[in-house]
Chains A and B, each alone.
Chain A
Amino acid sequence: MMAPKRRRLYLVGGGMTSLGLAVCLVIFAFQDNLVFFYSPSELAKQPLAAEQRIRVGGLVQEGSVVSEGDGLTTRFRITDLSESIAVTYTGILPSLFREGQGVIVQGYLQSPESFVADEVLAKHDENYMPPEVAEALKQSGQWKESRD
């Protein structure tokens, strides 16, 4: 005969263990649906329907940003360093937007290689430092430009 205290301890412990296990399985099973954005490589592998509103994330490819004549439309490429996709966006870009910066765009695929965005979000990395330190790192060549 088990003491009631011990029995309740096993009940709570067992319950939490199985719940944790169940949640882990659910997360791993639904990981593809829980991700916030697709990468250009994933889009190249499995093209999605044009009417589906999706998010694509990656780095703004160096030298790819072109401003259109109307002053609002911008064309650029998003790359994950193996595949890339062309993006057209009309609107105001976030202040952190520039070449080499991680961004997430939301919109529709026009064709497998081109994307029309109605929203551009800048991704911020986990590095925080004063401007002088960033400058010193760049000068000493220890600056890592690759971000995600």
Chain B
Amino acid sequence: MINLHRYANPNQFMRLSSPLVPVVGFLTCSLFPIGLYLALFVSPPDYEQRETVRIMYVHVPAAWMALLSYTLMATFSAVALIWRHPLANVMARSVAPIGASFTLICLITGSLWGQPTWGTWWVWDARLTSVLILFFLFVGYLVLYGAFDDMAKGARAAGLIAIVGFIFVPIIKFSVDLLDLRTLHQGASVSKLSSPAIHESMMWPLMIMAAAYLCYLITFLLLGVRTEIMAARLRAGHRMRAEKGVQLGSSE
């Protein structure tokens, strides 16, 4: 087995991630304007939804990245629980607020699209309900993480929530297709095997938007972990100075 501990070393992480941050940051800053311009101005209106289809370019990548964020959070939590890597909990904790924001964007834009298209802001069908539960799982994870005085205890309890809640990721994915739950939400377009589900002129802006979201996720995950490592170093420094101060004071 490869020695994963080598990559979980905080010093190693700081060294490897510092040139990466500006690169993914630059990609995020350039892909979002390009993607949004293509989605909002260049791409054609839909034959049936007309201009409302443009909400899809914000909604669908947010949903994809919310599922990816949760998968990452659950994986990091499992790694932390099983192998006790020093960085895994920090990674899981850093991805959680990003995933929660993506889920919230997905829910809000979906609601804005549902009103003119379906005729309702919200229904309790299997897809919408399971995504709402995903949002609560992210929030629950964050609340539980900070709920203990002992940070390690909070991390472990929250990690368990993340792992158990992972069961919702396949449920969300398959609620509209494989499982015959007959949702109001339509089935998947991009991964559908028979064509045409989504026209090329709409696929490109969607893919660029997805890449922009992904770069945003990576940028803020790296920044979050780096901030947490630096904060831990600061805390350790303070503690050491405080201990030294006590020793000096007592020796006088």
Listed in ascending order, the chain A residues whose CB lies under 8 Å from chain B are 5, 8-9, 12, 16, 19-20, 23, 27, 31, 34-37, 57, 93-96, 104, 119-135
Interface positions of B (Cβ within 8 A of A):
44-49, 53, 56, 78, 81-84, 116-120, 123, 125-126, 163-164, 166-167, 171, 179-184, 186-189, 192, 196-199, 201-202
Query: When chains A and B are docked, how far (Å) is the Cα of A123 from the Cα of B184?
Result: 6
How far does the alpha carbon of A120 sit from the alpha carbon of B202 in the complex, in Å? 29
Are B197 and A128 in contact, CB atoms less than 8 angstroms apart? yes
Contact across chains for A120 and B184 when beta carbons are under 8 A apart: no
Chosen A-B contacts, 22 in total, with CB atoms closer than 8 Å, are: A9-B82, A16-B163, A16-B166, A31-B180, A35-B180, A35-B182, A36-B123, A36-B182, A37-B182, A120-B119, A121-B123, A123-B184, A124-B48, A125-B187, A128-B202, A129-B196, A129-B199, A130-B47, A130-B199, A130-B201, A133-B196, A134-B47
CA gap between A16 and B78 in the complex, in Å? 11
Given A96-B117, A129-B47: A36 and B183 within 8 A (CB)?
A: yes
Interface contact A119-B120, CB-CB below 8 Å: yes
With contacts A94-B119, A129-B198 taken as known, whether A12 is within 8 angstroms of B163 at the C-beta atoms is: yes
Contact assessment for B118 and A133 in the assembled complex, using a CB-CB cutoff below 8 Å: no
Q: Contact at A121–B120, with CB atoms within 8 Å?
A: yes
How many Å lie between the Cα of A23 and that of B168 in the bound state? 10
Interfacial chain B residues near A135, Cβ < 8 Å: 47
Bound-state Cα–Cα, A20 to B44, Å? 42
Interface majority SS on A: helix, strand, loop or mixed?
A: mixed
* A40, B58: Cα distance in complex, Å: 36
| Interface contact B187-A126, CB-CB below 8 Å | yes
The CA of A93 and the CA of B116, in the complex, are separated in Å by: 11
Considering the complex, give the chain B residue whose CB is closest to the CB of A10.
B82
Contact A104 B197, beta carbon cutoff 8 Å: no
B45 and A131 contacting across the interface, CB-CB below 8 Å: yes
Select which of A9, A23, A120, A128 is within 8 A of B198 by beta carbon: A128
CB-CB < 8 A to A19: which residues of B? Answer: 164, 167
Known contacts A123-B118, A127-B197, A129-B196; A104 and B47 CB within 8 A of each other = no
Indicate if the CB atoms of B184 and A121 lie closer than 8 Å: yes
Q: Are A126 and B48 in contact (CB under 8 A)?
A: no
**Cα distance A136–B48 in the bound complex, in angstroms:** 14
Contact A123 B46 (CB under 8 A): no
Judging by beta carbons under 8 Å apart, are B196 and A127 in contact?
Answer: yes
Interfacial chain A residues near B164, Cβ < 8 Å: 19
